[in-house]
Amino acid sequence: MISYNPKDWWKLIFAFHKSDTFRSLLPGILGVAAYTVVVAYIENDIFHASFKNTTVVHSLVGFVLSMLLVFRTNTAYDRWWEGRRLWGSFVNNSRNLALKLNAFLPHHPEIRKTFKVLITNYILAAKEHLRSGVHVKHLENIGEYDSQFYSKKKHVPNQIMGAIYDEVNTLYQHKQLTGDQLFLINEELRSFTDNIGGCERIKRTPIPFAYSLFLKKVIFLYVFTMPIGFVVEFKYWAAPIVAIVFYIFASIEVLAEEIEDPFGTDANDLPTDTIYETIKANLDEIL
């Protein structure tokens, strides 16, 4: 995720970052402009076409298309923001669990270290699980929890959470945790699985195919029929006008596609790497 100053207007206006849709859409923008020039030449210089009120239909359709894009953007942002809330919950629950374990187990540094490693590994595994998959060699080994242990199941976060529950149960059986203390930390333990489940729901439930397909078709038809009417009124100036309209509408759809799956490594995705480092630093300090 990119950190920036939203109040720095001039810098943002003239910035052409690699995440800017202008770069990815540039071939399409040039193609639309060239297509408009060809249509303008055919209509104005060959057929000498003359229509009246040629832009009215596109004005009406443009309003409807704008409403569809607003809904599309809001839906994608809701998914992005829900993902951010879930990862904020990871931060808070990791801190709460570490603080409680630190208070309940003051004379057991090895046990606290085990929990610190397991919780840190869980957050790392959750982050990579939502991307391309977990590489167990990146997880820290401690005691019986080594690469072989983490490789036993496909869902590595579940494997690690099972280990955390086993450690808690062992402490309870050896009376190093009371029933009341077990009840106090259960909410944080449960929240980890709830959070990863919420993230998986976002990642694996894209916008309905029919809606996405329809919106792309409408944008295509709208942009590629614009020159037919606009070149009569605006002549060759219709080329930059149509290109700008294409850039605006297509950019909204491209941005929505990027942020609706917010757990990747794109510039506008959630800063899960930074959040992981924050949690790791907090656990190192507390435990």
CA 171 – CA 125 distance, rounded (Å):
24
Question: Are residues 32 and 242 in contact, defined by beta-carbon separation less than 8 angstroms?
Answer: yes
CA 100 – CA 79 distance, rounded (Å):
32
CA 74 – CA 125 distance, rounded (Å):
29
CB atoms within 10 A of CB 135: 13
Cα→Cα distances 254→8, 20, 61, 73, Å: 24, 10, 20, 10
Query: Would you give per-residue pLDDT tens digits along the chain (287 residues)?
Result: 677 677 777 777 777 666 578 888 999 999 999 999 999 999 888 888 777 656 777 888 888 899 999 999 999 999 999 999 999 999 999 999 999 999 999 888 899 999 999 999 999 999 999 998 999 999 999 999 999 999 988 999 999 999 999 999 999 999 999 999 999 999 999 999 999 999 999 999 988 889 889 999 999 999 999 998 888 888 899 999 999 999 999 999 999 998 999 999 888 899 999 999 999 999 999 98
Question: Are residues 126 and 199 in contact, defined by beta-carbon separation less than 8 angstroms?
Answer: yes
The per-residue pLDDT for 53 is: 57
Residue 231 amino acid letter: V
CA 98 – CA 187 distance, rounded (Å):
13
Per-residue buried b or exposed e for 168-186, using 16+ beta carbons within 10 Å of the residue's own CB: beebeeeeebeeebeebbe
Residue 46 amino acid letter: I
Helix, strand, coil share of the chain (percent; to 5): 75, 0, 25
CA 260 – CA 73 distance, rounded (Å):
9
Q: What is the pTM of this model?
A: 0.88
